[in-house]
Amino acid sequence: MLVGALSGCGNSDSMESFSGPTMGSTYSIKYVRHAGLPAPAEVRIQVEKILAEVDQQMSTYRSDSDIERFNDLPANRCQKMPAPILELVRVGEQLSQQSEGSFDLTVEPLLNLWGFGPQSREEKVPTAEALAEATLRVGHAHLRIDGDQLCKDAAVEVDFNSIAAGYAVDTIAAKLVAMGIHNYLVEATGELKAAGKKLDGSPWRIALEEPRDDQQVAERIIAVDGYGVSTSGDYRNYFEQDGRRYSHTFDARTVAPVSHNLASVTVINPSALMADGLSTLLLILGPERGWDYAEKHDIGAFFVIRADTGFVTRTNQAFERLSGGRTE
């Protein structure tokens, strides 16, 4: 009877899940709950507290966020900032330097001008004059951190959309671990991190979507344990004009949407923040430069490239190693 009772206590584990809106999209949490861990309602409160803080600090879609108040400042001004914002600015500087300026957090004026940003009016190819004016307000070199202040010497506007969700995922994952939860899958706006196993002992499996805007098709399924996964693509947010396709992914060096045939990139990395930023960086660089960059820096990457016959995939050894190889 005692053995039976103990066995019963040992089988009290359960799979918990909840989801909701965030950052103009959604988030979802799945985790294995053991006896003695916080109630699911408390876990949800802590997760949504993190998401609300990220939104208050980094959203470009609310005028009262910390970063939008900074964006409204004229040139040669500084503003005290929360530590997470300064951390992301430093990450952005690193990615900008490593991509020779192609990746840049200050492209919001360009996003607005082409119709993709929070203050955009319509999707269209801008005039040369308007583009030249916006270019004067783009460039990570115009940003400077002074103690706990973020400063700018030009009227630049910072946009964290390429890394904020990854940061949120990492922060939530760290909070779950601090609460005693070690088997989880955290996802926010498509960026995710998974660790441990599911309730039945099987790994967390992630479907990598084929870059199509007409339907959802799994290109490949991978197993993830202890890593962040991010996919960046040009197939959901774009417009066409005069027979040409313009995506929302910008190369800051050319101040224009990328025009190569790399449709999507998936990166796997111990940090969801870095996976988020690196997937964007590789998408900007394109199928050749991006591939060379991933190989040089040992970045696990899965490329989907447009071809006349459909899509061609390319994956490197780092991706195979970190994802546990092909599961399907």
Q: How confident is the model at residue 242 (pLDDT cuts 50, 70, 90)?
A: low
Tell how strand 191-195 and strand 262-269 pair up: unpaired
Q: What's the whole-number mean pLDDT along residues 227-254?
A: 75
More confident call, 213 vs 302: 302
At 308 the pLDDT is: 84
Report pLDDT for 53: 98
Architecture of domain 69-152: Orthogonal Bundle (1.10)
How confident is residue 230, by pLDDT bands cut at 50, 70 and 90? very high
How does pLDDT run across 281-291, given as a tens digit for each residue?
Answer: 999 999 999 99
CA 248: distance to chain centroid? 14
Cα three-residue angle 260-230-251, rounded to 5 degrees: 35
CA angle 186, 160, 227 (to 5 degrees): 30
The model's confidence at residue 4, banded by pLDDT at 50, 70 and 90, is very low
Between CA 225 and CA 232 the distance in angstroms is: 21
Residue 82: is its pLDDT beyond 50? yes
DSSP state of 127: P
Q: Where are the domains of the chain?
A: 13-60+160-189, 69-152, 203-328
Q: Could you tell me the pTM of the whole model?
A: 0.89
Q: Mean of the pLDDT values across residues 189-193? A: 95
The stretch 62-80 carries a mean pLDDT of 96
Q: Are 285 and 253 in contact (CB under 8 A)?
A: no
Q: Are 76 and 152 in contact (CB under 8 A)?
A: yes
pLDDT tens for residues 99-119? 999 999 998 888 888 777 666
* pLDDT given for residue 24 in this prediction: 86
What's the CATH number of domain 203-328, 3.10.520.10, 3.30.70.330, 3.10.50.40, 2.40.50.140?
A: 3.10.520.10
> Where residue 1 falls among pLDDT bands split at 50, 70, 90?
very low
Positive or negative, the CA dihedral 270, 272, 274, 279 is: positive
Q: What is the pLDDT of residue 244?
A: 65
Q: Is the pLDDT of residue 239 over 90?
A: no
Nearest to 103 by CA among 274, 246, 311: 274
Instruction: Render pLDDT for 148-182 as a digit per residue (tens, 0 to 9).
Output: 999 999 999 999 999 999 999 999 999 999 999 99
